[in-house]
Structure 1
Amino acid sequence: MTGTNNPAPRLRAEDLTLSYDQRTVATHLGVDIPDRSFTVIIGPNACGKSTLLKALARMLKPRHGQVYLDGAAIASYRSREVARRLGLLPQSSTAPGGITVGDLVARGRYPHQGMLKQWSAEDEAAVVEAMRQTGVLDLADRPVDDLSGGQRQRVWLSMVLAQQTSLLLLDEPTTFLDIAHQVEVLDLCAELHARKGHTVVAVLHDLNQACRYATHLIVMRPGGTIAAEGAPADVMTAELVEDVFGLPCRIIDDPETGTPLMVPAAPKRFPHEDTEGGAPAAADTVMAEPR
C-alpha cells in the first residue's frame, strides 16, 4: 500500500470482500489507482474485474473493507458529491427512446444542478466542450438511436466528460464494437489521459489492447485476487499469461508501439497420411461417371 513518504492516491481500496447475493467474488482485495494513470484491469471471465470497478465507483457496497476517494471513505459522500468527483461509464447503457445526442450529454451536468442552481452558461459550455473532445458536436441534434456503435460510445463518454471530473471509470468500453471502433474509443481515452491529465480506469478483455494503452496494469486471478500489477513492460510475461489465463504464448514487442504483444502458441498440427511417394493419399472412393 502507500508508503508514509508518498501521498495516498485519490482512489484506492483496502481489504475488500465483494459479493453478489450469497456468492463471494473477492476477499482481502486491495488496490491503489495511481493518479494521472491509464489503469487497465484485466483477467479471466468471472474473476471480479467489473465487480471491483463497481466497488470503486460506489455502485456496489463491499461486505467488508473500504474504498477511499480523496482521502475519505467513499461511503461517506452523498451520491451527487461522488458524481462530481468521478465519472462512470457502465458496461451496458440504454438511452431513452428518441433522445438527441445533445440532450443525453446534457444529463452529465446533473451533479452540478440543484434547487437553487439551474441550467447556466457554464453548463452549456461544459456540454459543448465534452462533445467537441469526443468528436460528436456535429451530431448534437441527431437521435442517439440513429448512431453507429462507435458513435454511441463516444456520446456516452461525452456525457461522462460533461460531469467535468478528472477520474473516469470505464467498464468494458469496447464491448460489442468492431475492431475499428474499439481502437477509436481507446485512442480517445488515451488522448484524454495524455493531454487532459485524466486518471482513467478501464476494464478490458483484450490483453494486447490493455498493454498498448495502459500505463498501469492490474491483473486479476479467478477468485478475485491480484496476480500482478505495474507497468505493462514489467508485468506482462508468458509465464503470467499461462498461469492466469491457461494460455501458452510468446511475448514480443509490438512493432507499432514497442509495448508487449501476446502471441498465442500455435495449435498442434497433425500431418496428412502420405503415400510412399510422399503425396497425400488418394481418396478410397471414385466418383461415378455422369450419365
Structure 2
Amino acid sequence: MSRLSARDLTLAYEDRTVVHDLDLAVPDGRVTVIVGPNACGKSTTLRALGRLMKPAGGSVLLDGRALAELPTKRIAQQIGLLPQSPVAPEAITVADLVSRGRQPHQHWWQQWSDADERAVTEAMERTDVAALADRNVDELSGGQRQRVWIAMALAQETEILLLDEPTTYLDISHQVEVLDLVRQLNHDKKRTVAVVLHDLNQAARYADHLVAMKAGRIVAEGAPDEIVTAGLVKEVFGLDCVVVPDPVTGSPLVVPGAPWQGTSTL
C-alpha cells in the first residue's frame, strides 16, 4: 500500500531534464531512504513528492489524486517536508520557528490550542532543542539549526514526513540521534518517512525500503539486504568495495577498497 506515489514522473530545470519517467511508491508506515551520487535527482524527486516542484511530465499522487489538484493546506496537513538548507526569517526565535509547523492545523477562529502547544513542546524535546527556545535561530551553530528545522517538521504532525539530507552539518553522534528519532517516529506513531541520505551505510542501517538512483532513474529498490551488493555500489557510485554484514545490526556494510598509498621512492 502507498498513499504517496509518482507515476511517469519527469522533472526538469528549464530545458535540463534531471528525472526521467520515474515510477515510485513510498510504502506506507515504513522508512524509505533514497540514495545515489551527487546530481542524480534524488533531492529533486523528494521536492516533487512534497509539491515544491512542478512535474514536467507525469504526476505525484496522494491517496490516488494528483497533488496539483489538492488544496495547499490539505497537503500541508498530510505531508511534512524539510528541504535542504532552509532559511529562517531574520531574528526569529527557536520556539517561534518550531511553532510555525502548526500553521496548517490552525483556523481563523482558533489561532492556538493546547494541541498546538503540546506538539511544539514534544517536538523540541525530541530534538533536544528545548533549552534553546528563546535563542535566535541565526545565533545557533549549523547542527543546532538543523535540529530546530527538524523540530518544526515534527511539530507539523503529518502522517507522511519527507526529509532531505537531515543529517547535514551534524556530527556523528547527532546524526545517529536524528536517524534513531526517525525510526522511533516510524515505530511509535506509524509515520511514513522518506529520507534522502548521502551515507550508504546509514541508509542500509535505517531503511526498511531502499531506493538507489542514478542519472535521474531508479536502478534498484527493495530491502537493503536484498539489493545492496558490491555490483550495485559499483554501478551506482562507481566504487569498488566489499559488502559485509554490519556487526551490530546485520545490515549490509559497504567497505571501500584499499586507499591509495603511492609507491616508495626509497
- Normalised by the size of structure 2, how large is the TM-score? 0.94
Which is worse superposed, 199-208 or 105-114?
105-114
Aligned partner (choices 151, 156, 160) of residue 163 of structure 1: 156
- Give 2:123's aligned residue: 130
Q: Distance in 1 between matches of 2:138 and 2:40?
A: 33
Q: Distance in 2 between matches of 1:229 and 1:126?
A: 34
Deviations 1:152-190 (A, max 9, x none): 222111111111102110011112323222222222212
Q: Are residues 1:212 and 2:205 paired?
A: yes
Q: Are residues 1:21 and 2:10 paired?
A: no
Q: Distance in 2 between matches of 1:153 and 1:185?
A: 10
Q: Distance in 1 between matches of 2:95 and 2:257?
A: 47
Q: Distance in 1 between matches of 2:109 and 2:10?
A: 40
- Give 1:114's aligned residue: 107
Code of the residue aligned with 1:108 in structure 2: it is: G
Number of residue pairs aligned between Structure 1 and Structure 2 = 266
Q: Distance in 2 between matches of 1:235 and 1:145?
A: 41
- Give 1:258's aligned residue: 250
> How much has 1:235 moved relative to structure 2?
0.8
Deviations 1:94-114 (A, max 9, x none): 222322211111101111223
Q: Are residues 1:65 and 2:58 paired?
A: yes
Q: Distance in 1 between matches of 2:71 and 2:236?
A: 38
> How much has 1:198 moved relative to structure 2?
1.3
Deviations 1:58-104 (A, max 9, x none): 11111111111122111111111110001000101122232221111
Deviations 1:207-244 (A, max 9, x none): 1111111111000012x111100010001000000111
Q: 3-state SS of the aligned residue for 1:160?
A: helix
Q: 3-state SS of the aligned residue for 1:97?
A: coil
The structure with more radius of gyration: 1
Aligned partner (choices 69, 76, 94) of residue 87 of structure 2: 94
Q: Is the 8 A contact 2:246 2:253 kept in 1?
A: yes
Which is worse superposed, 179-188 or 226-235?
179-188
Q: Distance in 2 between matches of 1:135 and 1:108?
A: 17
> How much has 1:136 moved relative to structure 2?
2.3
